[in-house]
Amino acid sequence: MTDPRRTLRALALVTVTTFALAACQSTPTTPPLLDLPPASATAAPDLERWWTTFNDPTLTALMEEALAHNLDLRAAMVRVDLARANVLLAQSYLYPSMNLGIDTRRNRMTLVGSQPLPENFNPTNNDYLVGLRAAYEVDLWGRYRNGASAARSELLATEYARQTVRTAVAAETARAYFGLLAADAELAMLRDTLQSRDETVALQVDLHHAGLIGDYDLQRAQAERAAVAANVAVAERAVGTYESALAAIVGRSPREVFAAKITRDLTQVRLLDVPEVPSGLPSDLLERRPDIRQVEAQLAAASLRIDAARAQYFPSLSLTASYGSESAALAKLFSTPALAWGIGASLLQPLIGLKAIEANIEAETARREAAVVSYTQTVQSAFRETRDALIANRSTRDALAAQSERAQRLKTSLELAELRYRSGYSGYIEVLDAQRQLLQAQTLQILAARDVRFALIDLAKAMGGGWDYVR
């Protein structure tokens, strides 16, 4: 006949062994391997302060102001501080807790209870206690170690998230600034054109009074002047919009945003002077982009959270200790007979609530799967953005060259049309058409120059420019 005690010991051994083997299991923290395109650049450019390549002191000053005072960056820094506090909290569970306790109690017993009391019994008594109390849960299965590691990974993720915001703020600042410069250039061109149209209308009025031209030519000249005046108003609105946008991005006060004024030297604007950036896919793109590093850290944290949740299945070992004095009389509290101490240990195995633990593990597993998907999507977006930026960097420069050539040829065409008109070979309508086409071409040239700068900004952002990453 089998000894029941031996059976119980065997079952206990199997249970402990199972727990130990399960505790040794760990969820992989590394991201999945993806099918990545080959690198096409031997050396990636240093883009930590990419905006300095434009050699624009105003842009550099605005960038420094934005990186110091932008509200999105300040909010991201607060989230970093919160994550750092969570790390300290998680690490605190790895160490014993110790408290100094001072207790006092005054009790009164009933005189009509079930037990008889002696004569002259004082039902009121006092109790005073002072001492140190310590408690420590031994981290047998890595629950708290994994929790602390997860918190550190989450802190790292918030740091990378802040760097991601930093790259976005730098790109937004540069885009708003160059948008403002393009609006300035367009407004200046339209104002010059409007002045020319005013002179033309005045001349056409004189010719009409002299009977040299008809009503049709005069009305067309006045209509062209009105069209340019309308475009001036639109350009003025664009300048104001870009100025307020810049004021908000760099973190200025609401009053300064409302009365936005961006100081800039319009005489030094060289919209067509765009620096060259080495094109090609860098081999270290995954390391250069902070958003990818952010999701990597989030994936590691999610994996560690699974292991921490799984450890709740296993027994917990707690150690306690106390040392102090206890006495019914306050005067004798610190006497030698009042000395009291104690030590203890407890081993607790969860029996009820296992479904809750299982649900927690499933929830953490789902969060890890979501982190894997997020990592894959982020990497996918990184390569898509980089490819689009490389294409735009080439195509916008080609478009600028074509628009510049078109504007130059239309300028020559206008000169010929004015010559033909003065020689009597054509009517003034031909001159108006040539002026309209030239104005359109010059506007498109300004926008093309702006788009070249936008493409360069997008390329720098796509390659992780704007932060000092560890190579």
Cα–Cα distance for residue pair 265/404, rounded to 1 Å: 24
8 A C-beta contact, residue 153 and residue 302: no
Confidence (pLDDT) at 270? 63
Cα–Cα distance for residue pair 64/218, rounded to 1 Å: 53
Residue 264 burial class via C-beta count within 10 angstroms: exposed 0-12, middle 13-18, buried 19 and up: buried
Mean pLDDT to the nearest integer, 212-225? 85
Q: Which of 67-76, 232-241, 426-435 has the lowest mean pLDDT?
A: 426-435
Q: Which residues contact 40 (CB under 8 A, 6 or more apart)?
A: 280, 281
pLDDT band, residue 25 (cuts 50/70/90): low
Determine the residue type at 41.
A
Mean pLDDT to the nearest integer, 373-380? 93
Q: Which of 15-29, 137-151, 226-240 has the lowest mean pLDDT?
A: 15-29
Question: Has domain 30-94+139-314+349-462 been given CATH number 1.10.8.60?
Answer: no
Cα–Cα distance for residue pair 9/66, rounded to 1 Å: 68
Q: What confidence tens digit (pLDDT) does each residue in 282-305 have?
A: 777 788 889 999 999 999 999 999
Exposed e or buried b for every residue in 327-364, given b needs 16+ CB within 10 A?
A: beeeeebeeeebeeeeeeeeeeeeeeeeeeeeebbeeb
Q: How many CB atoms lie within 10 A of CB 81?
A: 11
pLDDT band, residue 21 (cuts 50/70/90): very low
* Percent of the chain predicted with pLDDT > 70: 90
Mean pLDDT to the nearest integer, 321-333? 85
Cα–Cα distance for residue pair 3/9, rounded to 1 Å: 10
Residue 339 has pLDDT above 70, yes or no: yes
Confidence (pLDDT) at 380? 92
Q: What confidence tens digit (pLDDT) does each residue in 83-142 have?
A: 999 999 999 989 998 999 888 888 888 877 777 777 777 788 888 889 899 999 998 898
Residue 470, phi-psi category: left (phi > 0), alpha (psi -120 to 50), beta (remainder) = beta
- Please state whether the predicted TM-score (pTM) of the whole model is above 0.75: yes
Cα–Cα distance for residue pair 405/411, rounded to 1 Å: 10
Confidence (pLDDT) at 336? 80
Residue 387 has pLDDT above 80, yes or no: yes
Confidence (pLDDT) at 266? 64
Q: How many CB atoms lie within 10 A of CB 156?
A: 20
pLDDT band, residue 81 (cuts 50/70/90): very high
**Helix crossing, 143-209 with 428-462: angle to 10°?**
170
Q: How many CB atoms lie within 10 A of CB 150?
A: 24
**What pairs with residue 345 in β-bridges?**
319
